[in-house]
Chain A
Amino acid sequence: MSSAEDTNNWVGKSLPRKEENRLLRGRGKFADDIKLRAMLYLRFVRSPYAHARIVSLDTSAAEVLPGVACVLTGAEIAKTTQPFIEIGPDPFAKIKDYPLAVSKVRYQGEPVAAVVAESPAEADDAAELVQSEYEALDPVVDAEKALEDKSLLHEDVGTNRVWNGVFEYGDVEGAFKEAAYVVNIDRLHFHRFSSTPLENNVVIAQWNPKDERIYYQCNNSFPSFAIQFLAAHLGVHIDRIRVETSDIGGSFGIKITSYPQMAVCALASKKAGGRPVKWVETRSEHITSSAHGNERTFRDTRVALDKNGVITALVSRHIDDCGAYPRYEPLGCVIWSQVFPGVYRFKNARIDFSQAVTNKCPVGPNRGYSRMQHLWFLERIVDICAHKIGIAADEMRLRNYILPEEFPYTTPNGCVYDSGNYPKMLQVAKSLFGWDDWKIKQAAARKEGRLIGIGIGTTLDSGTNNFGQSQIVNPFLPYSGNSQGANCKLDIYGEVVLAVGSCPQGQGHETTAAQVVADVLNVHPDLITVRTGFDTERNVHTGFSGTYASQFAVSGLSAVHGAAQKLKSEIKRLAAFALNTKEDDLEFGSGAQGPEIRAKSSGKSINYWGLSNLVNANSASLPSDLYEITLNCRYVWRAPFKVPDTKKKYGSLTLTYASQLHVAVVEVERDTFIPRILDYVAVDDCGTVINPSIVEGQVYGATAHGIGAAVMENCVYDAVGNMLTSTFSDYTPITAMNMPKVKYGHIETPSPHSYSGAKGMGEGGAAPIHTISAALQDALFANDIIIEDSFNNADSLFRAMAAKEIRHVVSIEKRI
């Protein structure tokens, strides 16, 4: 199917979102809006302890409370279900992960029982009557300490180390021998934070006792992944599980791992005789117990540089904290390597990567998943080295960036960066920012004793995974490549109806998909009806369907484009018959009766209703050689990947690489230590832009998310595993009130790896975290302070600046 036939009128336009009409009028349908007859309500009883043995769990008082339908415990579930599938290899494959704790709790907030009642209030009251007794065990809240295995979370496994692997490429030792400078960094730390979608997790499950089918209405954001876990856990055939999503109020990846709660709701429905069971997560439950982003510690980093400050080699030891249960992990142990060198050219590197379980909330693939930690680490290295050697931050980057003429660029671990122009992004950002003016203002402010820093963060948003990388963490996993499905049809009345396998949470899929189809069929996007939201019974999805990992613009829209082209091809054959002409005599357009096909030679036309009628309702005149035409075209797009070399950890792991470059001016107030953003620029390159206003909105969203993570949002645990930031009062998510004015710019380097030149985007590579850390480093380097942590609020800056002794975490060896 050639794209040459596409008219390309709509792709690239800032078409207002089709979704707005529904959502802004309050007419969206979210999972909590759904009310079913005889519906019951579920409430979890959760562990107050981070690590404890369950001595007793007495549910008798709850069970007899009026209005209570049933109570479930982990012990009961363990008798009738299988533990969830583990992605990791032995010994961690031995872990027994059930949706309710069976004999032991491993994080504060872990559910131990579920109470199901006629009303939410009755469920709440009954949950308080569940009596539990625990024997506290030593908690482990630090991943490095967890690796000492003094207190085991999962005794059957025998270790807290989930995974370990060494990623080594090039001639590391040779590069260090020849280095002009070697910079040593003792420890860097990427903090734990999460996302705060407007809508928390919601599950409605109904286990129909008549046909043993389970029907979910929920807001899980990767349902095709969830049903694979649920089917094996519940012991039902996967085709008996229907998952339907509707409008979703944000996910940021966190809702991918709601399958344990989905399992409990289904089992509760079964126990309650098939009545639907609804669970609506509270905000505190979401913060303490849904999923967090990965926390990561970077140890013993050594950086080799030549005399010009060009990085030639890197050695480091990384320890990732995945919380109490791996669940989506240890995929994060390889996903970071999609961006192994970041935007830089170094070829020699050795990274020893480990992941540990701790007595904290399990992690999930949070926006920028696994890559942002690594990209932050690389940006810290670049800035620390620049400061130590005495090279300006912008110049340091220009000396190390992969150059535009080097694309497509193969990284040391075999990933292929499709396109990019990082120096140009820096140039655009500087221009928007007024770089030279700010440098003058900064120098003047410093003379007044003010602490002002200018920081640059260059980052990547890798999109459309090769799931073959999962075989690097576990060679026995049966996943590789990537695919997405779409279905484009003319319904009986000739309406163009498109169904996609994604479940958008604000990304505007309805609009961008309509733009693509509109171009193929040369009709207005308003005439395309897009069925968004996931539904297994639409038969559109593949094993990778969902919305995650910055891939819709490539995988989703490629599937949409393929399905539309397939439909177009069928329409042409049918119209050629109907209009008694040849296919190359036909043109697509709209007439008085809506979308139609015209014969250029005769001027005759047939509209879509007429065409559909020939196939669906008035088929007697259709010749048999056209019987294969259905006008109902499913297309599965597959990414052109190969399985990576799992031993060498080498291969193409992602299809597209969007990039972002942010610049910020940050001042640390002398009296309050509050970091204030004085100016902010975000430049984005996601290849060919499908809808500029949607892309711009995504950039603002990712920027807000990153700024919140950099200075406001932190999951704080005390020494015994109590989470101390379990409400918005303490977690302090960013709001519009905290957002600086963001100057936005973009460049386009079309991807050769997608049909349209578009690249997946939306995660933003957590650019603000890198950028603010860099600006703070610039502000405080003269005070001998190294920014060691990705989270820097007034309190942490006060502690760093008021410390009696400067921590010397960085040293430099000069060999010239």
Chain B
Amino acid sequence: MAIKFGGEFEIKRTPEDVYDFLTDPNRFAPLLPDFQGMTQQDQTHFTVKVNVGISYIKGAADMKMELSQAERPKRAQYKGQGSAAGGKVAMTAGFDLVPAGSGTKVVWQGEAQVFGALASVAGGLLEPLGKKNVQKLIDGLQTALS
């Protein structure tokens, strides 16, 4: 089951500032919905623990994240995968940074693939839930950068 998401917003910070924020796991990861904690392996690899819950399926997920594309100050992309509640999740999330006057236009897009019982049992709920959580992340990002 693939959930695709994307959008854009503008912010009054330079592309360099935005890029530095996005590529710093210590600042970026806590914005993930239901963030519980993080351990960083190196500059580009970290593992976040997040709570997941869909109806009666509840649990914690360890997501292994990798900063897979880093082109300062134009683009940052994360890849991640993890296990949650009888299923596996693989995701990519990319941010293209375009100068916009004195600020930056952030064009974001991504895709999450869900495998296993999580998709089988809760498939119909995943897309709205995923979109809600992505929106939370973007809202948090906008707040943090404003």
Residues of A participating in the B interface, judged by any CB pair closer than 8 Å? 47-50, 108, 134, 136, 284, 288, 718-720, 722-727
Contacts and interface: CB of A to CB of B under 8 A. Distances in A.
Nearest to B84: A48
B88 A722 contact: no
Contact of B120 (A49, A134, A719, A724): A724
A48 B1 contact: no
Interface string B101-123: 00000000000011111111101
B70 interface: no
A229 B1 CA distance: 36
B117 A720 contact: no
Contact of B117 (A48, A136, A718): A48
A108 B2 contact: no
A720 B120 contact: no
A48 B2 CA distance: 14
Given A108-B115, A719-B2, A720-B113, A727 B86 contact: no
Given A722-B1, A726-B117, 12 more contacts: A49-B88, A49-B116, A50-B115, A108-B116, A136-B90, A136-B115, A284-B117, A284-B121, A718-B123, A720-B2, A724-B123, A725-B120
B120 A288 contact: yes
B87 interface: yes
A644 B31 CA distance: 70
Nearest to B88: A48
Contacts of B86: 48
12 contacts: A48-B88, A48-B118, A136-B113, A136-B115, A284-B117, A288-B120, A720-B2, A720-B113, A724-B119, A725-B120, A726-B120, A726-B121
A722 B90 contact: no
Nearest to B114: A722
A723 B116 CA distance: 8
A725 B116 CA distance: 12
- The 8 nearest A-B residue pairs measured at CB: A48-B116, A726-B120, A722-B119, A48-B115, A48-B88, A718-B1, A724-B123, A49-B115
Contacts of A725: 120
B30 to A, nearest CB: 26
Interface of B: 1-2, 86-88, 90, 113-121, 123
B52 to A, nearest CB: 14
Nearest to B118: A48
A588 B50 CA distance: 80
Contacts of B1: 718-720, 722, 724
Nearest to A132: B83
Contacts of B120: 108, 284, 288, 722-727
A290 to B, nearest CB: 15
A129 to B, nearest CB: 12
Contact of A727 (B87, B114, B119, B121): B121
B119 A718 contact: yes
Nearest to A128: B86
A287 to B, nearest CB: 9
A718 B88 CA distance: 15
Contacts of B119: 718, 722, 724
Nearest to B117: A48
Contacts of A50: 115
A288 B119 CA distance: 13
Contacts of B116: 47-49, 108, 722
Contacts of B118: 48
Of A284, A718, A723, A726, chain B has the most CB atoms within 10 Å of the CB of A718
A725 to B, nearest CB: 8
A727 B57 CA distance: 14
A63 B2 CA distance: 35
B134 to A, nearest CB: 19
A722 B90 CA distance: 14
A49 B121 CA distance: 14
Contacts of B121: 284, 726-727
Given A724-B119, A726-B120, A134 B88 contact: yes
B65 to A, nearest CB: 15
Nearest to B90: A136
B92 to A, nearest CB: 13
A62 B120 CA distance: 25
Q: Which of B88, B117, B120, B121 has the most CB of A within 10 A?
A: B120
Contacts of B90: 136
B125 to A, nearest CB: 12
A134 B89 CA distance: 11
A718 B86 CA distance: 17
Contacts of B113: 136, 720
Nearest to A136: B90
A726 B118 CA distance: 11
A724 B116 CA distance: 10
B109 to A, nearest CB: 19
Contacts of A136: 90, 113, 115
Contacts of A722: 1, 114-116, 119-120, 123
A283 to B, nearest CB: 12
A128 to B, nearest CB: 8
Contacts of B115: 48-50, 108, 136, 720, 722
B135 to A, nearest CB: 23
A726 B119 CA distance: 10
Nearest to A51: B115
Which residue, of A48, A49, A50, has the highest number of chain B Cβ atoms within 10 A?
A48
A48 B123 contact: no
A447 B80 CA distance: 59
A160 to B, nearest CB: 21
Contacts of B117: 48, 284, 726
